Amino acid sequence: MTKIDTSIPEQVLPTPSHTVGPFYGYALPFPGGEDIAPAGHPDTVTVHGYVYDGDGNPLPDALLELWGPDTEGRVPTADGSMRRDPASGGFLGRNGVEFTGFGRIQTDANGHWYARTLRPGARGRSAPYVSVCVFARGLLVHLFTRIYLPGDAAVLAADPLLSRVPAERRDTLIAADEGRGTYRFDIRLQGEGETVFLEFQ
């Protein structure tokens, strides 16, 4: 007679409820996704950084989408971020002339990303910012945040959203100025220094 052990094990390991990617690199990135500013535009800035998981490890397969206004704070209406070749159907990338304000960037093998865009102008009472959407492994729902560029402490302090964020967490929304039009903005999904994420209802 075979005995079946029906006792409950001391430790039950959790199982994932879903498997999420990484599938982003196969269909979503497009050539020139990081080059949002028109070629040679004098107001171009570079924003770069890393995406980290809750353990502080860089994610090599995250995907970011960026949206930003032009230097006057106007939301662009130009088409053309993902132009296709009419003959082959393949992506041609941007034409390098219009500013669409939109970019899609995949992190590299080291979890690093970068985008070249126009320095955003202020809109209404808000300090200048670029909107960000984060897709990454383990996220069942994508995350939204903002990249504020430093430069005017009074404007940042008066921003309606930033002023509602606890003082000790505001820095997670403000890029660091590295000089020569380059800014660093790391995204931490969890843990110490977690980026402030926004919920839209």
Checking if the pLDDT of 13 tops 60, the result is no
Q: What is the pLDDT of residue 70?
A: 96
18 has a pLDDT exceeding 80: no
Higher-pLDDT residue of 200, 50: 50
- Asked if pLDDT for residue 130 goes beyond 80, the answer is yes
pLDDT class for 24, splitting at 50, 70, 90? low
Has residue 23 got a pLDDT over 70? no
> Torsion angle of alpha carbons 164, 137, 37, 173, nearest 10°?
20
Q: Are strands 63-67 and 91-93 parallel, antiparallel or unpaired?
A: unpaired
Average pLDDT over residues 106-134: 95
The first and second tokens of residue 154, run together, are 């009074």
Task: Judge whether residue 8 has pLDDT over 80.
Answer: no
Average pLDDT, integer, range 147-173:
94
Buried b (16+ CB within 10 A) or exposed e, 119-144: bbeeeeebbbbbbbebbbbeeeeebe
Q: How confident is the model at residue 65 (pLDDT cuts 50, 70, 90)?
A: very high
Looking at residues 121-150, what average pLDDT do you find? 92
Determine how many CB atoms are found less than 10 A away from the CB of residue 11.
4
**Token pair of 193 as six digits:** 């220094």
pLDDT score of 96 more than 90: no
Whether the pLDDT of residue 103 is over 90: the answer is yes
pLDDT (0 to 100) of residue 21: 52
CA 189 to chain centre: 11
Question: Does 22 have pLDDT greater than 80?
Answer: no
pLDDT confidence of 48, banded at 50, 70, 90? very high
**Which residues is 123 bridged to in the sheet?**
126
- CA 149-196-186 angle, 5° bins: 55
Length of the chain: 201
Phi and psi at residue 50, in whole multiples of 5°?
Answer: -125, 155
Cβ atoms of 195 and 162 within 8 Å: the answer is no
- 72-86, 109-123, 138-152: range with lowest mean pLDDT: 72-86
